[in-house]
Structure formats: C-alpha cells, structure tokens
Structure 1
C-alpha cells in the first residue's frame, strides 16, 4: 500500500512538472497598461516642441504641484489656482518652480502637476516655452491627466501622464477626422491602442513611452478631441489586435493608393506575417489616392546633381518596381551614356522632402508612380541646309564636316550647344525641351491599415472587425489583455 502511495505521489509530481513545462512554453499574455506617458516637449528631434529652458503652464480643476524627489515622500510644493500662470525653469542640476516671479521650489528631481482626484474636468495647459536662446514658442494646448517636468540633461522634458483611453481621445481625431464613419474610427482606436501596447517601451530611456508626433502617433491632447472619436474609443475599450497571442505593431498610413505593401520592402526588416501587401480597391477614391507632379527635365537634373550625383542632360528613365507597383529604383540615363540609380523614395523626396513638406495632389506624394514618357520629347534643333532652308535635326549631337570630308561631333560631352548668330553667341541646352509628368497614387508608407481605405469600407457598411482583418493578415481582435 505504501508503495502504491509513493508511486501515486511520484506520478502527481511528474504531472505537475510536465504541466509547469507546458505552461512555461505558453506566450505570456501582455496587459494593456493603465497609463501612457507622452513626450510633449523633448530633446528628441521627432518632437514638435524642442529643447525648453523654461515652460509656462496653468491648470483647470483640482491639482497639486509636487516634488517627486522629496524625502521621505512626495512633497506638495503648492496648490495652483485656476487662471494662475506658473513656470518651471531648467537648472544644470535640476529644476526650479516659479509663481509670479517668486521661487517656490528648487529641486534636483522631477516636478509633477498632479491631479488630487481624477476628474474628466481636470486639465493642464501648456501655455508655451522659451529655449536657451530666449526664443519664445506658443503652445496653448490643454491636456488631461498629469504633467511632469524633468531635467533631461540639457533642457526640460515635459511628459503628459494619463490613462490609455484618455490618451486615445487625443489620438483618434488627429489620425482620422472626427466626422468619419464610426466603424472607421473604431478601427483606428483599436489600431492606435495596439500600437501603443506593442511599442510601450520604445522610448522608455527618454522617460516616456511615445512621442506626440507622426514618429509614433499624432496626439493633440484635449484640444483635438471629438465626440465621435471618444465614442469609438469607449466602445472598443480594452480591445487590441493580436497575432500568435501577441500584440501586433499596428502600423497604418493615409492611403495605399490601391495596393498595400510588405513591411520588409519599406523598412528592410524581417517579413512580418500580418503585414502583407495586397490589392486595396477601397483606397483608390479618396485623399491622395491620385496625384500628378510635372517638372522640367532640367529641374530633375539639377536636383539629382544637388544630391551629390553627377549626371549630364537626361535622356531616359527606367523604373524597377515591386509587385505592389511601388518604385524600388529609378535608373537615370544621360545623353553621354552615363547611368545613376536612386531608390524610388530618394528620387521622390527630392521634390517633396519626407513626402510631407508639400501636401497637395499636384505634388510628389509617394513612391507608387509611373512616368508619362510621351512628355519626354526628343530634342529638336534647326540648321540651314544647302538649299538655304531650315531643317530640323533631332538628337543630342550636332555634326560638322572637315576639309577631309569626315564628320565630327560638336560639343560631344557638353550639356549645351553654342550657336553663333548676327547677335553674337548664344547657348542652347541639349536636354529635351519638354516636361516630364509623374503620375502617382497614395500617401504614406503603405504598410498595414489604409485610413482612407477604412473610411471607404465603413461607408460600404463594413464594421471595424472587417476593416482590421482585411489590413492585418491572420489577426484576432481580443479583450483578453485587460489588466
């Protein structure tokens, strides 16, 4: 009997051990963080507001200003009244807090404008700031939650600390219009929440989780909020997108122009199974689904030269394309047989830096484009023939006859012809006299969800599940990650 009990005991121990091994191999379920820390004024070049030496703020609602470095615990510096303007100054070894030009506190630690009790009526206004050169920058934006001021080594970093959904209230209507269909806004809310979870530690060494700009997600604080966007956030609270039980990096863009893109073709990273390019017919009617950019060949050549490449008068273009139609490489040939190769992105951004400097349908907006080659005309010149008539000569070289009766090329490698007339010598470019037209589609990197595509799908009666499962291959939308 004792032997049987011992055997049973051993079997139970073995079963528990096997179970523990199996459990240990199950991917850990991530939790949706309760709070998000957003970098508003930073030293990161991706910020809209950079390198503050002093920051002015005010509050609405129930707040206290605390010194997070105080020992033994957080020390209340002051209880700010509504309408009062306060300032935080950078010091080489910390920060100092002013009110009405009077020093309230000098500390080596962080200072936080903290809600005494959380309320949807509480706000902190970042009035503006001055940099180390004394230049003033107006902000004038209100933010929910808390606001932290810290010394980042050379300037102040200002961080908005607030709940996940309150953060999304200020993201969704910046990334989409508050007037868009609710199902599209819901898809955006879930994508933005998922992106935040998946990239939560992306900027942790800087003291915050995400920037408030396009380098993470556009966030405008309370000023940007809208009723429809807030409803979309509230009705999807806790929902994120997962693949293989892990939150995905839910990247998105304005419009694919008709075909989304594989992630590796944009960022050179390992292929991600849920970020696969596919035909996207719902992204062909809105936004910058179509754009046209017209420019002279001389202008193209000059811009190429400004990038450090040497090229003569341009003779032709060749486009190497990805399966999506996006241009991988542009091969430029000049009249002398020289060739240079540029990436499609590098070529397009010569005319519109970042594809973001100029925002209109008559600018170069993406690397999904074709060249309207019938606009690239052969150069044509006129010479006087033996009958005294003007005769057209096409091509890039002019020839002359020598005394021996042989033909020689005039100005073979030069970019111009020199022509003598009764009025003196004039210069004529060898470049084709016409314009080149780039006809393109879409705006943005093209990976993941097309926002205008989501708009069109919602207009057609699709719900947020339809939208997200179309743009992110093989994913699930779940609420099982609630903390």
Structure 2
C-alpha cells in the first residue's frame, strides 16, 4: 500500500494540472475559431468589394466625332452652331449646381444629352426654326455660355466648378437613355415629395418609362417643403379671375373646397371648388405654388397651403439624384431608377 503522503501529493498535482490543461485546450479552440471568423470576414469583405467592382459599368463603347447642333439663343435672338458636348457644359451649369456629387452631375448630363437626341427625332419647325433646341429653360433647357458663367461666378468658380461640370459631361460622352432603342423624353425637375409622378397624371400623356417611383432622399433639398398664407378674400379673387363663373364666397370656405383625388405620387389631381372641379396643376399655377403636392389648412381669416416638393414631379428628381449619389449609387443606377425599363446607349 502506497504512503498516504504520496497519494495526497498525487491528488494535489492532478488538481493543479487539469485546470491548466483545460485552459490551454480551450484557448487553442478559441484562437482557432477567432482565426476562422477573421478568414470568413475577410472573404466576405472581398466578396462585397468584388460585387461593387462588378457594378461599375463602362458605357464608353463608341468613339466617334462629336456632332454639331443648331441652337436658338433666345438672349441673342439668333441660331448658333455648337459642338454638342460644349453645349452640354452650358446646360449642366444652368440646370444643376456644381456642388452636387459627380455621379448626380453625370446623370444630369446624360439626361440633357438625351433631351437633344429626343428633339432631333421629334422636330417641330414652328417652335424654333432651323434649330433643334433653344436656350430658354421655359421651353427647352437652361443654357449659360462660358462668358456668362465667368462674368456671374468669377474666375475661381470657373477653375474649380466649371472643371467639375466638364468632367461629368466628358465622362459620359455620347451617352443617351433609350427605351426600345429610341431616345426617351427625359423629363426632370428639382425636388419630389418622396415619390415621383406618373406622366399621364400631370401631362395627360402616358410614357411607359415615366412612372411613379419612390424618391426617399429629397428631404435634403432646401425646397422640400414650403408654405403660402393668403386671406380668404385673396383666395376667392384669384379663383374668380381664372374662372369667372365659379360660385365661391369668402364665408365658410372649408365647406366649399375639397380635394377629391390624389395622384399615385401624392399630388392633388382634382379639387372641387365651389361649383367646379379643377386640376391640382391649375391650382399650382394660379397661386404660384412650388408643386401640385399640397394640403390646405383653413382658418377663420385665411388659408394656408402646405406644399411638398418643387417642380412638376415627373421623371428624375435632381435632389433625389443627389441623395442617391451621396449614398454611393452610380449615375446609371440613378437613371435606371427614375426612368423605368430604360437602357443607356453610347452614340458617339
């Protein structure tokens, strides 16, 4: 029989050794699991990066000479022959702030170029004779010459901002948006109310690519909301001026004015005012509202218009495009979102 002292010593050694061995094995397992997680995480990160790389598409597939177009300069009262891309420098400078993200600027450049291509295929001699487009934003697209921009903004702006505008145009040289291989009518506007509008609900013409879509980033726009307060007397006077036979009185206007139908994008489509049903777009025009997406609050002495968005609401929202660009979307993803079922085609 072994000595009790020897047995006791053995027990003590076992008690000390087992926890140590357990800790070593456990640490080894934890280290192995951690390394496995790191490897998996690294692989996942690489996959995500690869996916992002795959999304970057190069549409520059054609390299032809830039066409010359005739533009009616409404400020000078004459037709000018311009290089298409140089013309687009002036359009982009007039239609979108150079402070916008480069991807938003590229999207605007492609839309502006597409507009010219669309007009080339839908000529109307009575609009501006011997010219495809004009420089008046009320009719075609805003255009500002290099000289105008330098005079208004200064040489520093030309150096920093004009170069960014040129970059956006040059990077998309010749690219247009197409539907069934034809240039689309690329309508665009400043700010949506959170959704764009179906073309037929605003302009009574249905284009399959101008559909209502979500536009969640417009809240960054300084014109996302606006308001107009007028008296009951002014409200009645404005409407009587537009509709001479409208039966409307200043008293109890709340019971005489009802919004009867909203568009898919949330704009007022029709309203019952007195004895007439009128369009929300007409109300916008009469009261010079920023958009037809509005609510009306009635008070005893006046009326408050609470307005969302700025512009007609059809096609690409410029501030929505800016928001998408800030979130990392490329210009072609922005265009694909706002112009349904379209493709980008390089024409020269």
What TM-score, normalized to structure 2?
0.71
| 1:327 aligned to which of 268, 291, 301 | 268
Give how far 1:322 is off.
1.5
Which string of whole-angstrom CA distances, capped at 9 and with x for unpartnered residues, describes residues 70-90 of structure 1? xxxxxxxxxxxxxxxxxxxxx
**Superposed counterparts of 1:275-354, under 5 Å:** 275-307=210-242, 308-310=244-246, 311-313=248-250, 314-316=253-255, 317-319=257-259, 320-333=261-274, 339-352=275-288
Instruction: Give the match for residue 42 of structure 2.
Output: none
Q: Does 1:250 pair with 2:283?
A: no
Q: Which runs of 5+ in 2 are unaligned?
A: 1-63, 150-157
Q: RMSD of the TM alignment (CA)? A: 1.9
Greater relative contact order, per chain length (Cα 8 Å cut-off, separation 6+) = 2
**CA shift for structure 1 position 279:** 2.0
Output the CA distance in 2 between the equivalents of 1:303 and 1:245: 46
The 8 Å contact of residues 32 and 197 in structure 1, kept in 2 or not, is answered as: no
Give 1:34's aligned residue: 67
Moved over 4 A (4+): none
What do residues 167-222 of structure 1 show as CA deviations (whole Å, max 9, x unaligned)? 00100011101121110100000010011101125344511110101111101121
* Residues 371-398 of structure 1: per-residue CA shift (max 9 Å, x gap): 12xx43xxxxxxxxxxxxxxxxxxxxxx
Secondary structure of 2:80's match? strand
What is the SS of the residue equivalent to 1:231?
A: helix
* Displacement of 1:348: 2.2
**SS of the residue aligned with 1:241?**
strand
Question: 2:293 aligned to 343, 362, 368, which one?
Answer: 368
In structure 2, the CA distance between the partners of 1:186 and 1:235, relative to structure 1 (3 Å rule), is same
Q: Secondary structure at the match of 1:281?
A: coil
Pick from 202, 208, 219 the counterpart of residue 131 of structure 2.
208
The 1:301/1:340 distance shift into structure 2, 3 A limit, reads same
Contact 2:66 2:85 in 1 (8 A): no
Alpha carbons 1:255, 1:443 under 8 Å: kept: yes
Decide whether aligned partners of structure 1 residues 32 and 454 sit closer, same or farther in structure 2, where only a CA change above 3 A counts: farther
Residue 341 (structure 1) shift = 2.2
Secondary structure at the aligned position of 1:446 is classed as coil
Q: Name the CA shift for 1:312/1:32 in 2 (closer, same or farther; >3 Å).
A: farther
Which of 427, 430, 434 pairs up with 2:301? 434
More helix by share: 2
SS of residue matched to 2:208: coil
Cα deviation for residue 267 of structure 1 reads: 1.4
Deviation at 1:286, TM superposition (A): 0.5
Cα offset, 1:238, TM superposition: 1.2
Alignment partner, residue 447 of structure 1: 314
How many pairs were matched up? Answer: 263
**Take 1:196 and 1:244, find their aligned partners in 2: how far apart are those partners?**
18
2:185 and 2:287 map into 1 onto residues whose CA distance is 30
1:475 equivalent to 2:335? Answer no
1:177 aligns with 2:97: yes
CA deviation after TM superposition for structure 1 residue 297, in Å: 1.5
Residue in 2 aligned with 1:196? 116
What are the within-5 Å matches in structure 2 for residues 102-121 of structure 1? none
- Contact 1:186/1:464 (8 A) holds in 2: yes
Structure whose residues are more often strand by fraction: 1
Q: Which secondary structure state, in structure 1, belongs to the residue aligned with residue 82 of structure 2?
A: strand
Is contact 1:202–1:210 with CA below 8 Å preserved after alignment? no
Matched with 2:328 is: 461
What is the DSSP-based 3-state SS (H/G/I as helix, E as strand, rest coil) of the residue aligned with 1:199? helix
What runs of 5+ residues in structure 1 fail to find an aligned partner? 1-30, 42-48, 50-125, 127-156, 334-338, 353-363, 377-432
